[in-house]
Structures are given as C-alpha cells and as structure tokens.
C-alpha cells in the first residue's frame, strides 16, 4: 500500500491494485475502513487503511452502489436487487427489487440524511437514452421513484445541514440541487446548480465538505473539481488517471479524500499509457467532509 501523506491537494496512489470500474467509496469511521465497489466485476472491496488488510465479497451481477447501516450491515444495490450483506458472516438477505426496464442497471447511490438508500439507475446501452430514474428505498422494502428521465443518474450528496440534495446526470451533463426534507425524504424546488462539459469533465460521483462546497469527479477530463455553493469553481485538481469516478471523505479528521477511477473499455495500449487508471487516489484537503449517513434498519 502506498503512503497517504503528502502536500495539500496532492494526489497519491493508495493501492497498487487496479479495478475495471471502481466506484462508490464509503468511509467506515468505526472500523477505520474504506469500502468501494468494482461495478462490472460484481465485487465489494474493503481496506483497513492502517494495517492494509483487504477483504472482498463477490456477487453474481453488477454492484452499482452500497451504504453502511446502523446495525453493522451493508445495504447493496446489485443490478436490480437490493440486499443486505453482513460483513462478518457473509449472510445475504434480500430487501427489494428495482423494476426499471431491461436496459438499465443501478449506478450511483448513497444513504441520505433521512436514513433511506437513494439509488440511481442508468441506461446500460452504448447509445444512452433518458430512461433512468432516482429511487428512495426504505427498511420496509418500499421502493419509491422520486425523479426520472436521466441517462446516467449520478453525483448524489447532501449539504452539511441535510437541507439540500445534489444530483447529476453524467450525460446531461449537469448537476441539480433540490430542497430536501430529512424527516420525510421529500424533495422539491429543483434548481440547476452546474452545467458542465468535457473541459472540467462530465460529473460523476460527488461529495460535500463542511463549507457546503460540492466536490465532483470530472470523469471525462481527469479532474477532481470543487465548487462553491453558488456554483463558482474554486479548485480543479488533476488526477493521475483520465477517468476518476467518485470522491469520499474519510480519516480521523475527515480531511482525507479517497477517489476511485475506472479503466473500462481501455485498450492494451491505453492501459500501458495510463498505468494508474482504475486505481484509488488519496489526497489531503484543508476542509473536512460531511460524513455520509447510515441506513436506518427496521427495529
């Protein structure tokens, strides 16, 4: 495992391992552990960042996203099915199923301030159509479609006070911001937060820091971008690979960023040109991040 120290905003490779479509990094503060998925290989990975101990769970379909629960389990979004995984026993328990059409699969997702699992889908065809949706899933197995009409649902994150929700369409390419009710999960008053292009990069996964700034992986430009609440670009950090996919905050002070990346559809020549593609990057920042919430299981 490579070192994680370095100058402010200086990206370093966390692991020498390479993943086809690394995504959805999640920080487990209670266990000093980083989780992430390799979507196309149906794998959930974990790393103890102090000891370097690794663990992997394999599944029989793509694994779009996941979140930690308040009972120590992991809620996992497979291609269509939502299940619980007990990371201690490997017991897997079904919860729900997203019926979103045969040409879609789950993609970006995160636990919201309401304790629900928010899961977006994407058109799985090469010629992306606006058939995807954003769903809210609760512990009783209810699946509620909240918004629809996307090509690739992405970029979920919430403001420090939980009153705003960020959500993107990577092929929009844009980021919207919604009013959010943390008690009910209701959303409203959608506004366009960012319109992006390939200069800064199409918006993939996102995270928010304690100053309310939105961090977005510019997946098509090799950048990690930080935007002020009013949409002003504050920082654009070049990543050591062309396709970073999602940031998350972690570490004891929540000032360490972990960023996944992909090498999907890379030729042998492109892999040789970009040997760090598909690896995880870490960097230190000066503003701590907002901790991701835990899924509230039924009592």
The ranges assigned to domains in the chain are: 12-284
Using an 8 Å Cβ cutoff, are 247 and 217 in contact? Answer: yes
Catalytic residue among 108, 204, 276, 286: 204
CATH number belonging to the domain at 12-284, selected among 3.40.50.2300, 2.120.10.30, 3.30.70.270, 3.30.1360.70? 2.120.10.30
The number of beta carbons lying within 10 Å of the beta carbon of residue 279 is: 24
Rounded Cα gap, residues 244 and 257, in angstroms: 12
pLDDT in tens, 208-230: 999 999 999 999 999 999 999 99
Q: Which residues are annotated as a binding site?
A: 23, 105, 107, 154, 204
pLDDT, one tens digit per residue, over 26-73 is 999 999 999 999 999 999 999 999 999 999 999 999 999 999 999 999
Catalytic (active site) residue 204: yes
pLDDT band at 3 (very low <50, low <70, confident <90, very high): very low
Burial 53-64 (b: 16+ CB within 10 A, else e): eeeebebeebbb
Joined tokens for residue 247: 């940031």
**Residue 42: strand, helix, or coil:** coil
Residue identified by tokens 């994680």 is 4
Q: What is the pLDDT of residues 85-110, one digit of tens each?
A: 999 999 999 999 998 877 899 999 99
Q: Residue 193 pLDDT > 50, yes or no?
A: yes
Mean pLDDT of the chain: 96
**pLDDT tier at 247, thresholds 50, 70, 90:** very high
β-bridge partners, 176: 167, 192
pLDDT of residue 103: 84
Q: Which residue ranges make up the annotated binding site for a divalent metal cation?
A: 23, 154, 204
Residue 125 has phi, psi (to 5 degrees) of -80, 155
- Structure confidence at residue 1 as a pLDDT band (50, 70, 90): very low
Cα 140 to Cα 100: distance, rounded to the nearest angstrom: 19
Cis amide prior to 256 (ω within 30 degrees): no
The model's pTM is 0.96
Conformational region of residue 118, where left means phi above 0, alpha means psi within -120 to 50, and beta covers everything else: beta
Classify residue 135 by its DSSP letter. E
- What's the confidence (pLDDT) of residue 198? 94
Q: Above 60 in pLDDT, residue 6?
A: no
Please choose, from the candidates 283, 275, 269, 240, the residue with its C-alpha nearest in 3D space to the C-alpha of residue 16: 275
Question: Token pair for residue 67?
Answer: 């979140």
Would you say residue 299 has pLDDT above 90?
Answer: no
Burial of residue 72 (number of CB atoms within 10 Å: 0-12, 13-18, 19+): middle
pLDDT at 2 over 70: no
What confidence score (pLDDT) does residue 42 get?
98
Q: CB-side exposure of 3: number of CA atoms within 13 Å?
A: 4
CB 169 within 8 A of CB 151: yes
Give the whole-angstrom CA distance, residue 223 versus residue 217. Answer: 6
Please spell the DSSP secondary structure of 252-292, one letter per residue. Answer: TTS-EEEEEEB-TT--HHHHHH-TTTT--EEEE-SSPBPPP
- pLDDT > 90: percent of the chain: 93
DSSP letter at 121?
E
Output b/e per residue, 157-187; b: 16+ Cβ within 10 A. bbbbebebbbbbbbbbbbbbbbebebeebeb
* CA diameter of the chain: 53
Q: What is the pLDDT of residues 174-191, one digit of tens each?
A: 999 999 999 999 999 999
Instruction: Name the pairing type of β-strands 256-261 and 244-250.
Output: antiparallel
Could you list the residues known to form a binding site for substrate, using ranges. Answer: 105, 107
pLDDT value at residue 165: 99
């Amino acid at each position: 495992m490579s070192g994680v120290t370095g100058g402010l905003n200086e990206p370093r490779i966390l692991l020498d391992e390479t993943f086809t479509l690394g995504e959805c990094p999640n920080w487990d503060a209670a266990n000093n552990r980083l989780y992430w998925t390799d979507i196309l290989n149906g794998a959930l990975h974990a790393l103890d960042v102090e000891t370097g101990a690794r663990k992997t769970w394999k599944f029989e379909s793509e694994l779009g996203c996941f979140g930690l629960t308040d009972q120590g389990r992991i809620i996992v979004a497979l291609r269509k099915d939502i299940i619980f995984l007990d990371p201690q026993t490997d017991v897997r328990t079904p919860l729900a199923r997203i019926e979103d059409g045969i040409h879609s699969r789950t993609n970006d997702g995160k636990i919201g301030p309401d304790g629900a699992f928010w899961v977006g889908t994407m058109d799985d065809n090469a010629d992306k159509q606006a058939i995807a949706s954003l769903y809210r899933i609760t512990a009783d197995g209810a699946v509620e479609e909240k918004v629809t009409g996307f090509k690739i649902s992405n970029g979920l994150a919430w403001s420090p006070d939980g009153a705003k929700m960020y959500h993107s369409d990577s092929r929009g390419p844009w980021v919207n911001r919604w009013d959010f009710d943390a008690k009910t999960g209701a959303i409203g008053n959608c506004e366009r937060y960012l319109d992006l292009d390939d200069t800064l990069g199409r918006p993939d996964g996102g995270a928010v820091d304690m100053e309310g700034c939105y961090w977005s992986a510019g997946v098509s430009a090799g950048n990690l971008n930080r935007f002020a609440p009013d949409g002003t670009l504050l920082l654009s950090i070049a990543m050591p690979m062309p396709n970073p996919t999602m940031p998350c905050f972690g570490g004891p002070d929540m000032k360490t960023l972990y960023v996944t990346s992909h090498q999907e559809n890379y030729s042998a020549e492109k892999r040789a040109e970009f040997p760090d593609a598909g690896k995880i990057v870490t960097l230190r920042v000066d503003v701590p991040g907002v901790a991701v919430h835990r899924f509230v299981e039924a009592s």
